[in-house]
């Protein structure tokens, strides 16, 4: 899509910064740069490559078009349903919504929503299908917005009187399911109530005294992972015009929790019952996902957050996010300088240290449900703050939700 026929040249600062559509040559320069240096430090791209693009533009180009694992093409009806659900819960939080739609960018979703919004408004139709409208209305009435916290990150305001922090494993927490079966890892049940439902995982993080000096970019795996997913800011704001947490009501948390569980999990608990392997957690949009061939000599660097799974999927099982690959061999890497995510990155190391089973390979995750304590399994990593934990769980959850079933007939 040309914006101005080959770009607009504008004198900015010490040189002309190019605007407008990117050329293939520019893309290549940017990709090469990221390949060498990883994501982040976008302003350095111009300095080091001579690319006449501002850092902002580079970041956007990478995030929206060049990074691997992007899912192009029209939204499926199932994805549209997810967007509806999530928008109903979160409002115009495109980045957060996109984090639950693997391979989709916030820009893409925003564009989709805006055109859909305009279309429906012009047609005088409601934004949400009637059933979603009802569910949202019920949530409003019950004052059960699990996303509502004060700007300082703590639950506060009227909502705080009614709801616990989002991720406390509490009966009134809409996203906390009943206690799971005992897990081998205390971490699991405490920090990942939803994941705990999918059976316990044992995880550990390759120990390192300090974060890596340089981000990681593996050439030998063919696919280079994106950076950290767009985790939300720690200080949450009230989702735009979605839930009136200041209005009356109260005590509806548990009921609303069931409703939300139902909304997100499906009334029949489809997710938990139909997962090909309950111990396996698909995490397609997790931090820095990169595919790892079984024989790959993927180096493990100090500080990398690496997940490499050797737990094979059953024949016919597909990971839709990996283009139909049938193996669970992938690696998570923290492939960017820890700046805004430092707490998260460092926290992983703190949280997971010492949990590794004997004889295990550094940098791998392990699932007790995948052939014993030393059998690696894919699993999530970074989660430190409540919001990040919450988002992580949502990510896992949404990524596992069946994308091919229209349980509510919204697409009819």
Partner DNA sequence: AAGCTTACCAACCGCTAGAAC
Partner DNA sequence: TGTTCTAGCGGTTGGTAAGCT
14 DSSP β-pair partners: none
Choose one: 159-167, 216-224, 232-240, 400-408; the region binding DNA (CB under 7 A).
232-240
Token pair 């050797």 is at which residue? 310
Binding to DNA by residue 110, rule CB under 7 A? yes
Tell which positions 165-184 bind DNA, by CB under 7 A.
none
The nearest distance, CB 401 to DNA, in angstroms, is 21
The helix or strand, by DSSP H or E, that contains position 321, with its residue range, turns out to be none
Of these, 3, 36, 134, 273, which contacts DNA (CB under 7 A)?
A: 3
The nearest distance, CB 339 to DNA, in angstroms, is 5
Binding to DNA by residue 40, rule CB under 7 A? yes
Q: Distance between CA 232 and CA 224 in Å, rounded?
A: 23
Residues 6+ apart with CB under 8 A from 342: 211
The nearest distance, CB 342 to DNA, in angstroms, is 5
The nearest distance, CB 86 to DNA, in angstroms, is 11
The conformational region for residue 371 under phi > 0 = left, psi -120 to 50 = alpha, else beta, is left
Of these, 88, 102, 166, 232, which contacts DNA (CB under 7 A)?
A: 232
Of these, 74, 209, 248, 315, which contacts DNA (CB under 7 A)?
A: 74
Q: Which is nearer to DNA, 20 or 278 (CB)?
A: 20
Nearest to 225 by CA among 44, 400, 382, 39: 39
In this structure, how many other beta carbons lie within 10 angstroms of the beta carbon of residue 205? 28
Of these, 127, 234, 361, 403, which contacts DNA (CB under 7 A)?
A: 234
Helix (H, G, I), strand (E, B) or coil at 12: strand
Nearest to 51 by CA among 29, 20, 28: 29
DSSP output for 183-222: -S-HHHHHH-HHHHTT---B------SS--SS----STTS
Binding to DNA by residue 262, rule CB under 7 A? no
The nearest distance, CB 279 to DNA, in angstroms, is 29
Site residues for DNA per CB under 7 A: 1-5, 7, 18-22, 39-43, 53, 55-57, 59-61, 63-65, 74, 92-96, 106-108, 110-112, 114-116, 118-119, 122, 151, 227-228, 230-235, 240, 336, 338-340, 342-343
């Amino acid at each position: 899509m040309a914006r101005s026929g080959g770009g607009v040249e504008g004198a900015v600062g010490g040189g002309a910064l190019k605007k407008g559509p990117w050329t293939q040559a520019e893309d290549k320069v940017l990709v090469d740069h990221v390949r060498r240096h990883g994501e982040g430090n976008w302003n350095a791209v111009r300095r080091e490559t001579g690319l006449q693009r501002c850092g902002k533009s580079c970041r956007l180009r990478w995030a929206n078009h060049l990074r691997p694992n992007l899912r192009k093409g029209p939204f499926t009806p199932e994805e549209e349903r997810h967007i509806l659900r999530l928008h109903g819960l979160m409002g115009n939080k495109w980045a957060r919504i996109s984090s639950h739609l693997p391979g989709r960018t916030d820009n893409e979703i925003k564009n989709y929503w805006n055109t859909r919004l305009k279309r429906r408004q012009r047609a005088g139709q409601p934004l949400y299908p009637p059933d979603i409208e009802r569910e949202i209305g019920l949530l409003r009435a019950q004052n059960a917005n699990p996303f509502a916290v004060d700007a300082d990150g703590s639950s506060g305001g009227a909502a705080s009187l009614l709801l616990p922090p989002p991720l406390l494993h509490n009966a009134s927490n809409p996203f906390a399911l009943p206690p799971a079966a005992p897990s081998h890892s205390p971490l699991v049940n405490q920090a990942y109530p939803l994941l705990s439902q999918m059976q316990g995982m044992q995880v550990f993080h390759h120990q390192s005294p300090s974060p890596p000096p340089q981000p990681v970019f593996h050439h030998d795996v063919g696919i280079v992972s994106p950076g950290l997913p767009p985790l939300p800011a720690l200080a949450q704001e009230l989702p735009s015009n979605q839930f009136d947490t200041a209005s009356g009501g109260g005590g509806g948390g548990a009921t609303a929790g069931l409703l939300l569980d139902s909304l997100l999990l499906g009334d029949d608990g489809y997710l938990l019952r139909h997962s090909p392997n309950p111990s396996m957690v698909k995490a397609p949009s997790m931090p820095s996902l990169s595919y790892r061939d079984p024989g790959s000599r993927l180096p493990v660097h100090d500080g990398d957050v690496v997940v490499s799974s050797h737990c094979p999927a059953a024949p016919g099982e597909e990971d839709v996010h990996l283009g139909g690959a049938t193996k669970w061999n992938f690696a998570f890497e923290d492939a960017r300088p820890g700046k805004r995510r430092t707490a998260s990155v460092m926290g992983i190391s703190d949280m997971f240290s010492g949990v590794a089973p004997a004889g295990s390979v550094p940098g791998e995750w392990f699932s007790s449900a995948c052939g014993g304590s030393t059998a690696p399994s894919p699993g999530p990593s970074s989660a430190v703050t409540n919001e990040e934990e919450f988002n992580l769980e949502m990510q896992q959850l949404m990524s596992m939700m069946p994308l091919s079933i229209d349980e509510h007939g919204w697409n009819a």
